Structure 1
Amino acid sequence: MGSTDPPADGPSLERLSGVFRVYEARRDGDRLVYYGEPRVPRERLLEAAWPLFREHGYEVQLTTETGEYVLVAEPADNSIDGIPWTNVVLFVLTVISTLYAGAAWYHIDAVADPLAVLRAWPFAAAVLGVLLTHELGHYVMTRYHGVDATLPYFIPMPSLIGTMGAVIRMKGQMPDREALFDIGVAGPLAGLVATVVVTAIGLSLRPEEVPMRMVNSPNTIQVEFGYPPLLELIAWIVGEPTSYGPGKAVNPVVIGGWVGMFITFLNLIPVGQLDGGHIVRAMLGEQQERVAALVPVALFGLAAYVFYVENVSNASVLWVFWGLLATYVAYVGPANPIDEEGLDPARKAVGVLTFVLGVLCFTPVPIEIIA
C-alpha cells in the first residue's frame, strides 16, 4: 500500500474527501494516481473532481484497476510539440489526391502529363479550403474552452472529390454543455461561410468546356450532382445558372462548394459524436438519445424513397451506408460533459438556426452516376 499523502502538485485529500475517500495516492511517471472509494455517483464525482485537477493542470478520469476505483490524472497540455508530421503528410497526400480528382473535372489527361494536374489547383483549393475552415472552427473552440484536441487530420481518397474529409480528435474531458455546443456548432458555421464564398466565386467563373469527343462517346460516364436549395439560392443571388447545355458544365470550383454543403449536412446528422450529435446533446441533455434512435430509421427510409420513388440506386446505397454508420455512432454514444447545466437561450437559437441551414444543404439525390 502506498502513501496517503497526495503528490505536491495535485489537489489535497481534504478537497476530494466529500466525493472520494482516498487510501493511496502516488505519482506514476507524469500521472497522478489516487486509489479510493467514491462517495457519490460517478457523474457527481467527476463534476466535483475535474475542476480541482484542472487547477493543477491535469485532466482526470475515473477508472478501475484490479477491482479498485482510481482517479487517474494526466497533464492537460494543449501545446503542439514539434512538427505534427502525421497531419502534414496526410494533408500533402490529400492535396495530391484532390488535384488528381480535379483533373477529371478539368478534362486533363493526368496519365499523359502528370504535371498538368497542377492546373486543377482551383478545385483542390476550393475543396481543401472548405474542409480546413470547418475543422479549424472546431479547433479554435477547443482551444478557447481548454479541451485537448489534435490538429486536423485530412483523409486522402481516390474518388470524385479526392478526399473523405477531415477530422480532429478530442482527447480531453468536455467540461460543460456550453463547451460541447460551441465546439460542435463552430465547424458547420465556419465551413458554411467558406462554402458560400467558394460557391459564389465558382458560379462567377466561366463554365468548363466539355470536349465533344466525350459528349458523343458511348463510353462516357455521366455524373449529375443534385444541387441543394442553398446552392440554388446563391446562384439566384449572383444571377448565374447552375446548368448548361451539351458541351458545357459548371466550373469545378462550384463542385467544391457542393462538397462543403454535402459535408455540412452529413456532419449535422444529430447522432453520437457527429457535430449534430454534439449540438443536440448540448441542447437536450440526455434526451439526445431519443433523437439518435430515430436517425438510422430516417436514413433507411430515405434510402428506400430514393430507390423506389427517385429510382436512383447509387444514391440509395449512399443513404444505406450512412444509416449503418449512424447506427454504429448512436451505439457508441455522444460526448458527455461533466457539468450538465443547460444552455442559454441565445445558444439554443443558434443551434436551431444551424440545423435550418443544414436542411438547406440537403438534397435526397446528392449525386447520380449514369453509365
Structure 2
Amino acid sequence: MELIILFLFLSTLSYIVIKRNIAKITKTPTWLLWLALMIPPLIWVGWYLTNPKNSMPSILVFLPLILSPILYIWLIEIGKISPKSADLESSSQTPELQKTENPPSDSSKNNTPIPPINSQEEKALRDCFPWGVYYLQKIDYLPQAILCLGKLMTAPEKAYPTIKNNLEKVFDDRFLIIFQETLQGQPFFALVPNPHSTTAKTQLPQEKLTRPGIALTLLILTLFTTTIIGAEIAGVEVTDLETDPSLILQGLPYSLCLIAILGIHELSHYLFAVYYRIKTTLPYFIPIPFFLGTFGAFISIKSPMPNRKAVFDVAIAGPLGGFLVTIPVLIWGLGYSHVVAMPDQINMLNFEALDPRFSFLLAVLSKLVMGSQLVANKAISLHPAAVAGYIGLIITALNLMPVGQLDGGHIVHAMFGQGKALIIGQITRVLVIMLALVRGEFLLWAIILIFMPVTDQPALNDVTELDNGRDFLGLFALILLILILLPLPSTVAQWLNL
C-alpha cells in the first residue's frame, strides 16, 4: 500500500515538473512525455506488485532505462518550438513591438520581457569587460538571455565580482548576472531579466515567503500523525486507544525524536540560506496518517544561489545537522532496545526484528551500545526512539545521494561543476538500480532517483571552485553515505562477533 501511495505521489510530482518546464519548449502533449518518462517505474512497480517474491529479470531492469530517455528526448524534439517561430508568434500578437530596434522576447523561464538594448547600451555593455579580466569577443541575443562570450583572463573569483559591479553600474538591477561554463569548459557571462528589478517596467508580484501560521499548523498535524504511528510502533492497538486514550503518549518518544531530526535538517538549510540572503520559505512538514507518519519536511528556495560556495553550504548543512541529532537519538534508543532471534526473512523496515548488519555504521553503533547482548544470528527489536534514529540514518543517506535536486546532488555540483555532477548522478542511478536487484528493499530508492530531476540549477557564479576545506567536508559527506549503505563485511562481523 505504501509503495502505491509513494508511486502516485512521485508520478504526480513528475507530471507537474514536466508541465511547468518541458511543456514550454515542445508541442508534444504533457501526458505523452510523462508516460515516456514513467516507463521504468511502471514496469518495476507492476512486477513488484505481481511477483513480490521473485527477482526481476535483467532485461526488465535495463531495457526500460535505455528506451525511456530515448523516447522522451525524441518526443521533445519532434514537437520542439523553435525560437524563431516563437518570436514570430509573439510579434504577430503585438505588432507595436516591431517598431523597436530589438523587440523584447518572453523569457521561457519567468515570462519577464528582456528590456531592449540599443546601440549605446551595447557599447556600455562591452565597456564593462576589461581586457585584463575577461576578453569579450561576441554578444549573442537570445529570447531568454544576453550571452557575452569570450576568454577569461584572470581567476574566476576575481572576474565575477569585477564584471558584476561594472554591469550593475550601467544596468542597475535590470539583469541577473550569471557566470557559467560551456560543455567545453569555456566560461561565459549571461544576462537574464531580473523578475524583482526595481527599474523594470514589468515586475512580478512579491510573494510572501514566511507563513508561520501554515508552518505551525503542519508541524502540529505532523506531531499528531507521528505520535499515532509511534504508539503503533510501541505496540499499542487501536482497541487499546479506544479504552485508554492516554496510551497515545507512548508514541511521543518516536514522534518528538523524528520531528527533531527532520526539523534540524530543514532548519539548518534555512539558516544558511538566510545567511547568504537567499529568499526561502520556512520549513514545512508533510503529515500523513500512515507509514512513518510523515513524508518529511522541506523548504522552497525562491532566488538564485549566489555562488557554488553557497550551494555547498546550504546543501550540506541539512544532512550534517540532521545527522548530529540522529546519532544521540539512535544511541539513546538502542540503549532501551533488546535482542531477539533473527527472522527468516530480513527486511530493512522490520522494526521488531531488525538485522543491523546491512549497514556498517548501524552495526558498529549497535555493538557499541548493546555490547555482548548482540551476537551472531541475533536481531534488534527497536525502541520507538531507536526507530526514529534509524529512520534518521536512512533519511541522511537518501539525501546524500549525489543525484539532481537531492542535497548530495547539490554537493557534487558545488564540488565538481554541473557537467561532472550530471555524470556522477547518472552513475549513481545505475548503481542503486543494480543494488535493488540484489536487495529488493532498495527498489523504492531506485524509483525515487528515477523520478528525481537529473540537473541542478546553476548558481549566479557557477565557475569559481570551492576551497580545500569544503572539498574535504564534501568527501566526508560522501564517505558517510557509503558507511550507512555499505553492509558490514564478514571479516569485521567476525571480529565484532556479529
Instruction: Determine whether 1:161 maps to 2:292.
Output: yes
Structure 1 residue runs of 5 or longer lacking an equivalent are 3-12, 22-34, 64-68, 210-220, 307-312, 366-371
Counterpart check, 1:322 vs 2:448: yes
Partner residue of 1:128 out of 259, 266, 278: 259
Q: 1:206: Cα distance to partner? A: 5.7
- Answer yes or no: is the 8 Å Cα contact 1:94–1:157 preserved in 2: yes
Shift of 1:181: 0.6
Structure 2 unmatched runs, 5+: 1-96, 101-119, 129-142, 153-158, 179-190, 199-205, 341-349, 489-498
User: 2:270, 2:280 within 8 Å by CA — same for their partners in 1?
Assistant: yes
Is the aligned partner of 1:301 residue 2:408? Answer: no
The TM-score, its normalising length taken from structure 2, stands at: 0.54
* Residues 252-297 of structure 1 deviation map (CA, whole Å, 9 limit, x = unaligned): 1001110110001000110111100010000001221111122221
Of 388, 400, 423, 1:256 maps to: 388
Question: Greater helix percent: which structure?
Answer: 2
Report what 1:218 is aligned to.
none
- In the alignment, what sits opposite 2:225? 97
Q: Where does 1:149-228 land on structure 2 (aligned, <5 Å)? A: 149-205=280-336, 207=338, 224-227=353-356, 228=359
Tell me which amino acid in the other structure corresponds to 1:291.
Answer: I
Q: Which residue matches 2:407? A: 275
User: Over the residues paired in the alignment, what is the CA RMSD in angstroms?
Assistant: 4.3
- Bigger Rg, which one: 2
| TM superposition shift of 1:138 | 0.9
Alignment of 1:59-98 (within 5 A): 61=176, 71-74=193-196, 83-98=211-226
- Number of residue pairs matched by the alignment: 314
Q: Which residue of structure 2 lines up, in the alignment, with residue 285 of structure 1? A: 417
1:335 aligned onto 2:443: no
> Match for 1:359 among 482, 491, 496?
482
Secondary structure, aligned partner of 1:93? helix
Q: What is the rounded CA distance, in whole Å, between the counterparts of 1:203 and 1:36 in structure 2?
A: 55
CA gap 1:244/1:293 in 2 versus in 1, 3 angstroms: closer
In structure 2, what is the Cα distance between the partners aligned to 1:222 and 1:187? 25
Secondary structure, counterpart of 1:165 in structure 2: strand
Counterparts of 1:256 and 1:270, CA distance in 2: 24
- Tell me how far apart the structure 2 counterparts of residues 231 and 147 of structure 1 sit (CA, whole Å): 36
Aligned-residue offset at 1:160: 3.4
Richer in strand (by share): 1
Would the aligned equivalents of 1:50 and 1:60 in 2 still touch at CA under 8 Å? no
> Are the structure 2 counterparts of residues 132 and 222 from structure 1 closer, same or farther at C-alpha, using a change threshold of 3 Å?
closer
Determine which of 463, 467, 471 is the counterpart of 1:344.
467
Q: Secondary structure at the match of 1:260?
A: helix
Where 2:285 maps in the other structure, the secondary structure is: strand
| Partner Cα separation in structure 2 for residue 41 and residue 118 of structure 1 | 63
Alpha-carbon distance between aligned partners in 1 of 2:236 and 2:457, rounded to the nearest angstrom: 44
Partners of 2:382 and 2:316 in 1: CA distance: 30
Share of identical aligned residues, percent? Answer: 28
Code of the residue aligned with 1:144 in structure 2: it is Y
State the SS of the aligned residue for 1:356: helix
Q: What secondary structure is seen at the aligned counterpart in 1 of 2:194?
A: strand
Q: Distance in 2 between matches of 1:247 and 1:295?
A: 30
* Cα drift, residue 60 of structure 1: 5.2
Partner Cα separation in structure 1 for residue 386 and residue 337 of structure 2: 11
Q: What is the alpha-carbon distance in structure 1 between the residues aligned to residue 172 and residue 250 of structure 2?
A: 49
In 2, distance between residues paired with 1:117 and 1:53? 59
Pair 1:75–1:301, CA change in 2 (3 A): same
TM-score normalised to the size of structure 1? 0.71
